Amino acid sequence: MSNGADPGTSGASGQPLLTLDGVETYYDSIRVLKGISFKVPERSVVALLGANGAGKSTTLKSISGLVPPARGTVTFMGRRIDGLPTEQIVRLGISHVPEGRELFPELTVVENLKMGAYTRTEKRAIRDSLDRVQAHFPILAERRSQLAGTLSGGEQQMVAIGRALMAEPKLMLLDEPSLGLAPMLVEEIFRIIGEIHQSGTTVLLVEQNANKALSIADYGYVLETGTISLEGESQQLLRDDHVRRLYLGQR
């Protein structure tokens, strides 16, 4: 386990699909990310932990191009993507499920799902993707004609994840997927994340529920005020006193 002195250089085992190197990101004059570096190996689940305001969501937005880094590099499948428009990043194989879901409430479930395939043109392949999403989320097949704004919070989260899957991503960025959900729905969402990973999609997971995140992750990074303070294999982090005290509510 590393204390973050040289963040991201050890990383999880495996060929890196995504690499951040010295990424600094600002909101106006406020430096939110202070030179973070880490790797996400192909076919892994990597958890990014931290308190509110640590920079977790900003990290995902820096990867997906919503808030481009001011310094440093983001490399995906051997290609630099920092500075590319978000649409192009999606086309390269990265889907972002934002905190708060950000659905189109006046569109139906199936219309919201199809919005995730806006970069694709082959109709048959899109139908196949829709079938696979509905296999992951059978309730969405039942709700396909219902307006997204009338769904429960858990169902809306399923639509948000399903919409991201419609792009057939190689890497999925998940931002607080369990936020505001009842414990039973949290279990269901994490079961589905596990299924998505097992199907071959790499996952970078931002989650305040550190116990659940580390239970499915291969590797984790702890982000504190814009810097990586700790990293290690998930089981190591679950046993770490600092993580147990601050993020698992244990002593």
**167-219 pLDDT tens trace:** 999 999 999 998 888 888 888 889 889 999 999 999 999 988 888 999 999 99
- Same domain assignment for residues 148 and 184: no
pTM of the model: 0.88
> What does the chain come to in residues?
251
Q: What is the pLDDT of residue 185?
A: 86
Average pLDDT for 67-83? 96
Same domain flag for 12 and 70: yes
Both 182 and 247 in one domain: the answer is: yes
My answer on whether 71 and 135 are in the same domain is no
- Percent of the chain topping pLDDT 90: 71
Same domain, 178 and 83: yes
For residue 205, give the nearest of 84, 153, 86, 196 by alpha carbon: 196
Q: Is the pLDDT of residue 244 over 90?
A: no
In the predicted structure, residue 15 carries a pLDDT above the cut 80: no
Q: Given 168, 189, 214, which residue is the final one in a domain? A: 168
Output Rg (C-alpha) for the chain, integer angstroms: 18
Q: Which domain holds residue 217?
A: 1-93+170-251
Q: Which of 113, 143, 168 is the last residue of a domain?
A: 168
The backbone torsions φ and ψ at residue 140, rounded to the nearest 5 degrees and listed phi first, read -70, -30
Please indicate, yes or no, whether residues 69 and 180 belong to a single structural domain of this protein: yes
245: confidence class by pLDDT, cuts 50, 70, 90: confident
Q: Are residues 1 and 88 in the same domain?
A: yes
Adjacent-strand bridge partners of 47: 205, 220
Cβ atoms of 251 and 242 within 8 Å: the answer is no
pLDDT score of 7: 39
pLDDT over threshold 80, residue 3: no
**Whether pLDDT at 141 is above 60:** yes
* pLDDT for position 175: 94
Name, in order, each residue with C-beta under 8 angstroms of 27's C-beta and a sequence gap of 6 or more. 58, 67
pLDDT at 123 over 50: yes
In this structure, the answer to whether residues 74 and 184 fall within a common structural domain is yes
* Domain count of the fold of the chain: 2
CATH number at residue 187: 3.40.50.300
Is the pLDDT at 117 greater than 70? The verdict is yes
Same domain, yes or no: 208 and 158: no
With a cut of 50, say whether residue 9 has pLDDT above it.
no
Name the domain boundary from 115, 144, 168.
168
Q: Average of pLDDT values for 86-109?
A: 92
pLDDT given for residue 251 in this prediction: 55
* pLDDT digits 0-9 by tens, 159-179: 999 999 999 999 999 999 988
